[in-house]
């Protein structure tokens, strides 16, 4: 890591993280970073992303943003979880059983402060390998007591949030005939296209994978467009379902859609600057960590004893959360990102105060001052 030590601690302190763990196993080639942001509400749960980052600074920046987003996601979803995330610095073709088992040993060393799951470029098989070394993992196969791929539940939550945004902004409860541009048709984007197609939505899709595009085109009659073309389409909803940072100073001027509602994490390159631009342009933005919480809801249910119908029902309630946040933002004259952040912070603060009071009571200090 080339960052000076004072710079590293400055980043961690600024974003409020509790712990950063660097994981290195020369034999398997593992190079990973685990970020634990906040455990006020419970253990930090968040997926492990595998990506060929250009440098270690980019990997750290990603894990810091993603883990903080998980704290807010869990808080807004009403879950008893904190926020964490992990990144493995590698290319997908470099994945091995040994790499994920080594990673599992690092997760296990944290004693449950961090619980992992799948994310970009990781899958159920990878989590099964992690499970060989630790019980602090979700999203494993049903044969091992898990729920399998959480993507359908994530996509269902995005679909519910998108419907709520359409009703709020366009005054329509029926999606039939609307046009939606889906950026990225990986696991979540592909399932989202299925939900939308069932409602008679006209789909426009882009992705780096030709095979995935052909699959969605064949299954749902979607129109394939270029990766740069997707931003400027005259559609009702723009649904980013790929990587983060795609709403920025270069892409925002291109948007014609009155609604942004998608499953990607960290969609705003700069939350304050670009959130304000969306507000000024009257583009309704559904905060990513609220609308894409279905996957987290799904794996949280694994910890409680998995009930598929319960997980699906709770994912559908994301529509209610999005509706409340959109109305709160309008009432207070703030961005939707600010409105969701305030909601999450109020919940974390209230639980933190409750824990402090309980600590005082248990220590006897509270009784001494009565």
How far does Cα 99 stand from its chain's mean position? 24
- The DSSP-derived string for 106-173 is HHHHTTTSEEB-B-TT--HHHHHHHHTT-S-B-S--GGGT-----HHHHHHHHHHHHHHHHHHHH--S
Q: Which of 73, 85, 95, 316 is catalytic?
A: 85
Pairing of strands 237-240, 179-183: parallel
Distance separating alpha carbons of residues 193 and 197, to the nearest angstrom: 6
Q: Compute, in degrees rounded to 10, the torsion defined by CA atoms 281, 282, 286, 287.
A: 50
Distance separating alpha carbons of residues 55 and 1, to the nearest angstrom: 9
Residue 352 structure tokens: 């933190």
Q: Is 310 a catalytic residue?
A: no
Distance separating alpha carbons of residues 130 and 124, to the nearest angstrom: 10
Q: Which residues are catalytic?
A: 85
């Amino acid at each position: 890591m080339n960052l000076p030590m004072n710079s590293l601690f400055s980043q961690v302190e600024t974003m409020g993280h509790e712990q950063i763990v660097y994981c290195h196993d020369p034999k398997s080639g593992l190079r990973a970073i685990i970020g634990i942001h906040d455990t006020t509400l419970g253990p930090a749960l968040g997926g492990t992303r595998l990506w060929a980052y250009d440098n270690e600074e980019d990997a750290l920046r990603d894990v810091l943003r993603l883990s903080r987003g998980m704290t807010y996601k869990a808080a807004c979803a009403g879950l008893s979880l904190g926020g964490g995330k992990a990144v493995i610095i590698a290319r997908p073709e470099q994945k091995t059983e040994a790499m994920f088992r080594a990673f599992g040993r690092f997760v296990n060393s944290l004693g449950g402060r961090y619980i992992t799951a799948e994310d970009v470029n990781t899958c159920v098989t990878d989590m099964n390998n992690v499970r060989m070394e630790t019980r602090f993992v979700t999203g494993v196969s049903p044969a091992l007591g898990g729920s399998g791929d959480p993507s359908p539940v994530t996509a269902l939550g995005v679909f519910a949030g998108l419907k709520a945004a359409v009703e709020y902004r366009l005054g329509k409860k029926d999606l039939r005939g609307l046009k939606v541009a889906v950026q990225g048709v990986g696991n979540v984007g592909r399932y989202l296209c299925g939900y939308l197609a069932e409602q008679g939505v006209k789909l426009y899709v882009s992705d780096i994978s030709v095979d995935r595009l052909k699959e969605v085109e064949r299954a749902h009659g979607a129109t394939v467009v270029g990766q740069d073309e997707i931003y400027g389409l005259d559609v009702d909803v723009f649904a980013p379902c790929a990587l983060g940072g795609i709403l920025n100073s270069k892409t925002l001027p291109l948007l014609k859609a009155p609604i942004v509602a998608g499953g990607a994490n960290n969609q705003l390159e700069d939350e304050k600057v670009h959130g304000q631009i969306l507000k000024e342009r009257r583009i309704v933005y559904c905060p990513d960590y609220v609308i894409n919480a279905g996957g987290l809801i799904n794996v949280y249910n694994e910890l409680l004893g998995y009930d598929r119908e319960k997980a699906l029902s709770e994912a559908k309630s994301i529509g209610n959360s999005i509706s409340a946040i959109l109305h709160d933002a309008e009432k207070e004259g703030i961005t939707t990102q600010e409105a969701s952040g305030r909601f999450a912070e109020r919940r974390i603060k209230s639980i933190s105060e409750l824990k402090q009071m309980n600590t005082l009571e248990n220590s006897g200090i509270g009784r001494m001052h009565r």
